[in-house]
């Protein structure tokens, strides 16, 4: 989707630069106007979460939409005629404004947390606090994150709840995921790359349900972490990243 929007970025930027100098403020388009304007650019179902005037750039409105759980941030003029997609960087603050804004909206509802709980396949650790790890047994970044979350969970008395999400790019991941469920294996076996020929119907149905849920939520990559507070993190986490999921 960003690739599609990116094609418009530089043309829109040049048009906007020529026309914005005389503007001191702008009334931003409504959420309904945004939805109508961009619906052909976003093939999936989406919701418009926020439309607001950028404080430091008069005449430019920030738009946040969500496709499932995934936030997309882009920029529009007040009449919703032009759209700019790409990273807005503050040179003074040396900060990626777009990325920071995306992170603010990387959060799921309590209803989604309840749904995730139904799909947990493996549990590791103890305690009242918890996080979900959506993972592929053959994902290299998932493997890199395993010792990080294992040490962090023990240190902070946090339970890690794994949801197996085998990706098509890893041809053996599906059978490994099913086998882990069928043979009732735990975190240790998952981390070691356990596999067997046991492809029971219970395991197959569980993985099919996981795939359907991830598609519904718009989650397409691993590892993805979701905290008990609803906050999300994608990729190999630091200890600081994990702390944000439980505080």
pLDDT in tens, 148-193: 999 999 999 999 999 999 999 999 999 999 999 999 999 999 999 9
HSE (side-chain half, CA atoms, 13 Å) at 243: 5
User: Please, what CATH class does the domain formed by 110-243 belong to?
Assistant: alpha beta
Helix axes 110-117, 201-217, angle to 10 degrees: 160
pLDDT band of residue 14 (cuts 50, 70, 90) is very low
End-to-end CA distance of the chain: 32
Residue 180 CB burial class (10 angstroms; 0-12, 13-18, ≥19): buried
Span 77-89, pLDDT tens digits: 999 999 999 999 9
pTM, two decimals, is 0.76
Residue 238 has a pLDDT of: 95
Residue 105 near residue 49 (C-beta atoms within 8 A): yes
List pLDDT tens digits, range 29-71: 999 999 999 999 998 889 999 999 998 888 899 999 998 888 9
Question: Nearest 10 degrees: CA dihedral of 186, 187, 189, 192?
Answer: 170
Location of each CATH 3.40.30.10 domain in the chain: 110-243
Phi, psi for residue 230 in degrees, rounded to 5: 90, -10
- Which residue from 240, 241, 163 is spatially nearest to 232, judged by alpha carbons? 241
pLDDT per residue over 112-145, tens digit each? 999 999 999 999 998 899 999 999 999 999 999 9
pLDDT of residue 59: 86
């Amino acid at each position: 989707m960003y690739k599609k929007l990116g094609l418009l970025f530089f043309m829109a930027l040049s048009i906007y630069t020529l026309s914005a100098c005389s503007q001191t403020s702008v009334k931003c388009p409504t959420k309904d106007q945004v939805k109508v304007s961009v619906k052909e650019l976003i093939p999936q179902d989406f919701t418009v979460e926020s439309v607001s005037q950028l404080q430091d750039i008069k005449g430019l409105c920030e738009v946040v939409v969500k496709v499932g759980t995934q936030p997309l941030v882009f920029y529009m003029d007040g009449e919703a005629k032009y759209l700019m997609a790409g990273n807005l960087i503050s040179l003074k603050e040396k900060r990626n404004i777009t990325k920071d804004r995306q992170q603010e909206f990387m959060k799921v509802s309590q209803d989604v947390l309840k749904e995730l709980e139904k799909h947990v396949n493996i549990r590791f650790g103890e305690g009242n606090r918890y996080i979900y790890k959506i993972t592929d047994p053959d994902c290299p970044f998932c493997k890199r994150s395993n010792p990080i979350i294992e040490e962090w969970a023990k240190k902070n008395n946090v339970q890690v709840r794994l949801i197996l999400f085998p990706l098509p790019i890893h041809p053996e991941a599906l059978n490994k995921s099913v086998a882990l469920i069928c043979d009732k294996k735990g975190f240790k076996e998952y981390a070691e790359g356990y596999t067997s020929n046991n492809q029971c119907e219970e395991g197959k149905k569980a993985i099919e349900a996981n795939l359907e849920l991830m598609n519904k939520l718009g989650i397409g990559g691993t590892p993805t972490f979701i905290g008990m507070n609803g906050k999300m993190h994608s990729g190999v986490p630091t200890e600081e990243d994990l702390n944000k999921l439980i505080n």
